[in-house]
Amino acid sequence: MVEPHEVTFAVEVARDAGAVTKQWFGAADLDIEHKQDGSPVTEADREAELLIRERIEGRFPDDAIVGEEFADRPGTSGRTWVLDPIDGTKSFTHGVPLFATLIALIDEQGPAIGVIDLPVLGETVWAGRGLGCHHNGNPASVAGCDAIQGSWLMTSGLRVWRGAAIDRLVAAGVHIRTWADAYGYFLVATGQVDAMVDPVANVWDLAAPAVIVAEAGGTFTDLEGRFRADGGSGVATAGTIHDDLLRLLDGCVR
């Protein structure tokens, strides 16, 4: 069972970590490195994740921790905190203020708590399973989209997309926008766009959005239609267009 105080804790920690990354945003002395997969990482990523880990270890010492920048920490409780200190590091390093701090809790039933904090924008959306979704303290919900035609779809980039899938979406009347990452899921959960698609993503990218979108009244699955954060892909919608969108996305990855 998810407790409200656990959600409050996650929100506070995400905002504190976001404040750390905001201090580094636009810094002239920011050192950008590249990991083996070519993705960027900075001192801000590491500093923020260490803050989150220390806070979780102090409050929930029996819980496991999985984060993007450091080794997994095993636990004994059956619960796992999943962290992404800067989701959208490419945005962060290019001066685009759409990056986020993500914190999630997964238990034996799946994604249980999720927080997306957008520190430069001053926006936070969070949810606890069975407790609803909130945006800056107010209830949040997905839009009432009932048709693919005219819908708005976000994605983090087009590098992994097959051109044929993009053509199908455009032919179906879908408006596609990018620079998304966690910001795209935030927009779905707050009713500003109709869908967000990550054809290739990691569990730390998806665990928080999974519960947030579900508690906002939407639908979150992987490309196979399964409600899981570790399926390697993420599709979030206002709900009614989800099945139609999955059909259009069939074979979308290069």
The pTM assigned to this predicted structure is 0.95
Percent of the chain beyond pLDDT 90? Answer: 89
Q: What's residue 243's pLDDT?
A: 97
Residue 40 has pLDDT above 80, yes or no: no
Residue 253 lies in a domain: no
Residue 46 has pLDDT above 70, yes or no: yes
Q: Which of 148, 142, 144, 146 is nearest to 246 (CA)?
A: 148
Which domain CATH number covers 231? 3.40.190.80
Same domain, 107 and 189: no
Token pair of 178, please? Answer: 């990018």
**Cα separation of 238 and 227, whole Å?**
15
Which domain CATH number covers 26? 3.30.540.10
Q: Which of 197, 246, 244 is nearest to 224 (CA)?
A: 246
At residue 34 the predicted structure's pLDDT band, cuts being 50, 70 and 90, is: confident
Q: Which of 139, 164, 197 is the last residue of a domain?
A: 139
Same domain, 117 and 77: yes
Query: What amino acid is encoded at 162 in this protein?
Result: R
Q: Which of 190, 195, 209 is nearest to 237 (CA)?
A: 195
Residue 37 has pLDDT above 80, yes or no: no
Same domain, 67 and 191: no
Residue 196 has pLDDT above 90, yes or no: yes
Among the ranges given (23-27, 120-124, 221-225, 230-234), the one the predictor scored with the smallest mean pLDDT: 23-27
Q: What is the number of structural domains in the chain? A: 2
Once rounded to an integer, what is the mean pLDDT over residues 134-138?
A: 97
Residue 72 lies in a domain: yes
Residue 146 lies in a domain: no
Residue 237 lies in a domain: yes
Q: What's residue 36's pLDDT?
A: 66
Q: Which domain holds residue 183?
A: 152-248
Same domain, 68 and 43: yes
Tens of pLDDT along 101-126?
A: 999 999 999 999 999 999 999 999 99
Same domain, 132 and 184: no
Between residues 167 and 39, which one has the greater pLDDT? 167
Residue 38 has pLDDT above 70, yes or no: no
Once rounded to an integer, what is the mean pLDDT over residues 8-21?
A: 97
Q: Which of 139, 160, 194 is the last residue of a domain?
A: 139
Q: What's residue 32's pLDDT?
A: 82
Tens of pLDDT along 169-182?
A: 999 999 999 999 99
Neighbours of 173 (CB within 10 A): 11
Once rounded to an integer, what is the mean pLDDT over residues 27-52?
A: 83
Tens of pLDDT along 71-100?
A: 999 999 999 999 999 999 889 989 999 999
Same domain, 173 and 213: yes
Same domain, 164 and 206: yes
Same domain, 49 and 105: yes
Same domain, 185 and 79: no
Residue 145 lies in a domain: no
Same domain, 128 and 174: no
Residue 19 lies in a domain: yes
Once rounded to an integer, what is the mean pLDDT over residues 23-49?
A: 83
Q: What's residue 121's pLDDT?
A: 98
Same domain, 124 and 164: no
What average pLDDT is seen over the chain?
95
